[in-house]
Amino acid sequence: MFFDEKSISFTIRIMYTITYPRTDAFPFLFRRETLRRTFSRPGLEILGDSMNKKDYYWAKYILIFGFFCISFGTSIFLKTEHAPDEAMRMLIPEYIVSHHTLPNGMEESVRHPLWGFSYALYPYLTAIISSVFMAITSLFTKSAAALLTAARLTSVLSGTGTLIVVFLIGEELFERRESALLGGIFVGFLPQFVFLSCYVNNDSFAVFTVALIIYFWIRGMKSAFCKKDCIGLGAGCGLCALSYYNAYAYLLGSILLFFALMIHFQKPAKEIFVKALAVFAIAFLIGGWFFIRNAVIHDGDLLVVDRSVTADSGRVVIAALDGELTVKRLLREKGRVLLKPANPDYPDFDITNREYVHIWGVVTYVIHKL
């Protein structure tokens, strides 16, 4: 028969040789000597030695540069009506450039007139970066086409960054350089991926952050998350939090994988705690600001107030101050009672010794108006 045992075995060996994985990439998978003997460079004599390092780097850099040129060139000529939701997403960087401040999602100028929805309610780091490119471009020209191309540059660079990380992942996983090169070609010139890298969106940046997270997952599997890998994973998670909600599963995956590997490598509890704290701290420093800022209660929102809940320190309350109602965060510290505005530009109200102050109730829920 054509598919006899020998032919199948030979085919598997050839396929394994082409994508020959490094045994040090997953030490817990290849730790048994029987596995090492089973997958010990089968059939390498058929394909010959791996391409030399110089040729590999030349090919890699040419592919990366080629991808950038294709993506950037396409971004210049792509029509907005062919890019899903781009017109709506462009409202955010345009708002930032014109108002020199960040939108909160409730402004009419960043909301879709028909849907009443705004992408400013989502993380929009990409829009901030696009606004910087637009501001620089506006110094030389006010052309709408040029400003649109400048805004799209964020996605172009995100796609290029993803391709670079894919090559790094291939170098970590495979011993043969051709395998890493092949992976970069498959990912970098996937039509949908190229398309995502040509117009204003959050998806391209989200893919970049996911690739970065996966890269440090692989490194962590080898190093049990050394200091550099903890920093890298934290940075990847922080950027992912600012990308798009559909990438958040990788944040949960990072937590599960981190602790699973720490337990596998039998690390002491103190080391696990320190490394986990480092990853969280870096992720929070990079991505936490947006979510803290969004704790601000927006104009037009509906507040659910529970008067039976105790107004403990740190709770958002409705306070009657000199006959007027206000929404502030209640703080009790060092014998003082403060009402703290969410806007950092406004000072705290010290109500320790003030008369005619009454805490009317505690805010338990905020319903955003769309």
Would you state the pLDDT for residue 29?
47
Question: How far is Cα 340 from Cα 171, in angstroms, rounded to an integer?
Answer: 51
State pLDDT tens for residues 74-103.
Answer: 999 999 888 888 988 999 999 999 988 888
Backbone angles phi, psi at 19, to 5 degrees: -110, 50
Q: Which amino acid would we find at residue 204?
A: S
Question: How far is Cα 63 from Cα 182, in angstroms, rounded to an integer?
Answer: 11
Largest CA distance in the chain: 96
Residue 200 near residue 134 (C-beta atoms within 8 A): no
For the chain, how far is it from start to end, CA to CA, in angstroms?
66
**104 pLDDT above the threshold of 80:** no
Residue 165 near residue 145 (C-beta atoms within 8 A): no
Residue 197 near residue 156 (C-beta atoms within 8 A): yes
From residue 187, alpha-carbon distances to 16, 168, 169, 173 in Å are 20, 13, 12, 15
Question: Cβ neighbours of residue 2 under 8 Å, at least 6 residues apart?
Answer: none
Ranked by mean pLDDT, the top range of 111-120, 138-147, 326-335, 341-350 is: 138-147
User: Average pLDDT in the 101-124 region?
Assistant: 75
Residue 158 near residue 31 (C-beta atoms within 8 A): no
Residue 19 near residue 181 (C-beta atoms within 8 A): no
Tokens of 192: 């949908």
Per DSSP, the residues of 246-274 read GGTHHHHHHHHHHHHHHHHTT--HHHHHH
CA dihedral 106, 109, 110, 113 (to 10 degrees): 90
State pLDDT tens for residues 159-195.
Answer: 999 999 999 999 998 888 888 888 889 888 889 999 9
Residue 340 near residue 331 (C-beta atoms within 8 A): yes
Q: Say how many CA atoms lie within 13 Å of 361 toward its Cβ.
A: 10
Percentage with pLDDT > 70 across the chain: 78
Rounded (5°) CA angle 77-117-108? 90
Rounded (5°) CA angle 91-93-98? 90
| Superfamily of structural domain 302-367 | Umud Fragment, subunit A (2.10.109.10)
Structure letter (DSSP) for residue 245:
G
User: What is the average pLDDT value for the chain, to the nearest integer?
Assistant: 81
Nearest to 286 by CA among 244, 237, 248: 237
Question: How far is Cα 205 from Cα 203, in angstroms, rounded to an integer?
Answer: 5
User: Average pLDDT in the 278-299 region?
Assistant: 82
User: Average pLDDT in the 328-337 region?
Assistant: 82
Tokens of 344: 């950092």
Residue, of 343 and 314, whose pLDDT is higher: 314
CA dihedral 247, 248, 252, 254 (to 10 degrees): 50
Least confident among 59-63, 198-202, 358-362: 358-362
**141 pLDDT above the threshold of 70:** yes
State pLDDT tens for residues 308-324.
Answer: 788 888 888 888 766 56
List every span in the chain annotated with CATH 2.10.109.10: 302-367
Residue 148 near residue 80 (C-beta atoms within 8 A): yes
Residue, of 10 and 93, whose pLDDT is higher: 93
pTM tops 0.75: no
Residue 13's pLDDT band (cuts 50, 70, 90): very low
Backbone angles phi, psi at 25, to 5 degrees: -70, -35
Would you state the pLDDT for residue 109?
78
Tokens of 360: 């009317």
